[in-house]
Structure 1
């Protein structure tokens, strides 16, 4: 009796290959969002218009905004025309926008290039492809690879951005982003295995189908909160760590990398327990409650380097668990005929969270209120917790 259970909980070779390659695809894609964040405000001073903070901020945010607009149309297209063609189309736009940024003569051309990059919004199609390629009982583990790639991409951006700009300049950074896009294109075309998409009667999925689905709305609100909190937190965290630990922007990766890696190690047992016990709702609630507590304690620990690092580890444990759980829950809750559309709404909410969190965190930090960033984030997480508590079991 136990042997078959263990067999079912193992990823098949095709599931493993699809999960790993799609996680690589997603990770490379997210670098396009994150690579500029740690260094662009300084590097942009070398180009005409780069001293205009408003235009620099818009150049960073334009990617997230156009991502938000295009996630739903491309998610719907992936339901109708298939995952691979939509991802290839999106990566071609991503490469074209990156090349435009690399050749840009001023900040306005970089804004135009970032807008084009964001139009290639393929996150929903990638996530739907993972769901197509995996069985429900192992899907959380597969989604953990994709969701965890966000944390890896964020950590990688903190390490790579200063190195690339220092060695090749801002243009070289954009050429590197474009090269990543080309690698993604090759992965999508030749490496990700072909898996059958569910053969269903043709149903014209409508946005109101998703907007009227209460459980999907809860999950969309959750991913908005999660990425709002991530971006707001990292408006103030780098400066805090640099001040407390005596780090410069070029070696802050020495803090971030072990924090990210340790949090990944500690989150694996939680994901495995969630799968084997089918405790998805409980895991979600506990992780969100963890965010509330960690963020509420950060103002108290902001004068202690060790305390801040410990809380950051706690933050990323909760973050990684939620990043793995939520896409899996969307794929379980959404009816198969509009799974891509549902994930399109989900990724739209994520992109809006990135944009709004960066803007809000920046405004509060510029007003010399870094503690308010933590408290606002904690309050938002608490609202999320209350909404999650009111839902029925999701798995």
Structure 2
């Protein structure tokens, strides 16, 4: 990548991380903070955590479509301003209901789609997949950072949870400065099939049964993750007598250790084409972890072992499910499928807060873990019907403009190249979206379709 692409990637990854930190920093501390508010109940605490996901899911696709019409940067800046406003509302609130309003407003700043589309507008086709992967990695890094920073910031000179909301406001304003000062304005706006939601493909993506199963999977694992954090911080503090300022001593080794265990699994899934098998195994690992926490959450050894198992499975699924969405979608609908998948993830966060809060209010901590085990088991049954995916490589090929005079003939000729499995031609971008079998690909024949200087 050239220097401009590195700058764009770093800046947009930082902007993307702002949103995710705003969600993840709250998870390990909010349930304990809610206990100090006079109008709080376990249900309202869950609603406050989860409603961020609801408004994210509602506004994500419309804001992505809007950015196609009025530009990426105005939508991103507007979304970050809305996020900052929600942070201020939540930071100054002394009522659970006002915090819920603030969290809902935060979620309205749903800028993931425009951010990815802006990255595609500003970078070359051959580097786009790599750049999207780097930006996507910020989700995992934000999760680890948020789980550790949340408890630390909340205890720093007594700033508490309001201090976290003020911090996320500062992050949002910093993101706006990055958009204005560090990110160029694209010369033109293009609707990218691999990096954005195309309205005309929504129906196709929603009729794909394998993709619907993947949407159910990301919904359920984020439901369970959110529900867990409605009760785990209180267990650590009240039952295990661990002060909240020291909760990071659990999160850091568990998250880092589980990530290290998950990495070989991720490599094995792709290199040995065992992704479906390991997905099912990781799902069963989550069932075991939830059952372990339900049965042994008053014993620190049992709890930590189950907590560790949960994040081994969760980290593997979080990393590989987007890969499966790309494998199950065709080349034209990949971006749209990923947008729906992301909305399902945020809906799962909302459902985890909403349902987890209700169950915690009625049946307590054990009820939350039992419920989580049941819904993950449901996902396992759903996942059993997933077909074996094809392990093709996605590529974007820059086309010789002279060949676009007859797109139908060009489509047939590209499909005739050994190793080319799927083709979608985007004449307005002068590119072709491909799925390739690299083992049998004729690179020389494929290169013949590109302009001489490409």
Q: TM-score, normalised by structure 1?
A: 0.80
Cα offset, 1:221, TM superposition: 0.5
Residue among 34, 39, 49 paired with 1:51: 39
The aligned residue for residue 164 of structure 2 is 173
Residue among 45, 49, 68 paired with 2:57: 68
Alignment of 1:138-287 (within 5 A): 142=134, 145-164=137-156, 166-168=157-159, 171-189=162-180, 204-205=199-200, 207-243=202-238, 245-287=240-282
Structure 1 CA distance for aligned equivalents of residues 244 and 327 of structure 2: 41
Higher relative contact order (CA 8 A, sep 6+): 1
The aligned residue for residue 15 of structure 2 is 25
Cα offset, 1:58, TM superposition: 4.4
Q: Deviations over 1:283-310 (max 9, x none)?
A: 3222212212222233333342122212
Question: Does structure 1 conserve the Cα–Cα contact (< 8 Å) formed by 2:54 and 2:347?
Answer: yes
The aligned residue for residue 97 of structure 1 is 86
Q: Give 5+ residue unaligned stretches, structure 2.
A: 392-454
Structure showing the higher strand proportion among its residues:
2
For these two proteins, the number of residue pairs brought into alignment is: 381
Cα offset, 1:182, TM superposition: 1.9
Structure 1 residues 119, 109: CA separation in 2 closer, same or farther (over 3 Å shift)? same
Cα offset, 1:160, TM superposition: 3.3
Q: Deviations over 1:251-281 (max 9, x none)?
A: 2221111111111222222222333334332
SS in 2 for 1:367: helix
Structure showing the higher helix proportion among its residues:
1
Q: Give 5+ residue unaligned stretches, structure 1.
A: 1-10
The aligned residue for residue 300 of structure 2 is 305
Question: Does structure 2 conserve the Cα–Cα contact (< 8 Å) formed by 1:264 and 1:320?
Answer: yes
Question: Does structure 2 conserve the Cα–Cα contact (< 8 Å) formed by 1:100 and 1:109?
Answer: yes
Structure 1 residues 86, 42: CA separation in 2 closer, same or farther (over 3 Å shift)? same
Cα offset, 1:329, TM superposition: 2.8
Structure 2 CA distance for aligned equivalents of residues 307 and 111 of structure 1: 34
Q: Deviations over 1:10-37 (max 9, x none)?
A: x999887766655543333122223334
Aligned-residue CA RMSD (Å): 3.7
Q: Is 1:117 matched with 2:109?
A: no
Question: Does structure 2 conserve the Cα–Cα contact (< 8 Å) formed by 1:31 and 1:153?
Answer: yes
Structure 1 CA distance for aligned equivalents of residues 153 and 373 of structure 2: 29
Q: Which has the larger radius of gyration?
A: 2
Question: Does structure 2 conserve the Cα–Cα contact (< 8 Å) formed by 1:232 and 1:362?
Answer: yes
Structure 2 CA distance for aligned equivalents of residues 273 and 23 of structure 1: 27
Structure 1 residues 389, 324: CA separation in 2 closer, same or farther (over 3 Å shift)? same
Structure 1 CA distance for aligned equivalents of residues 198 and 165 of structure 2: 41
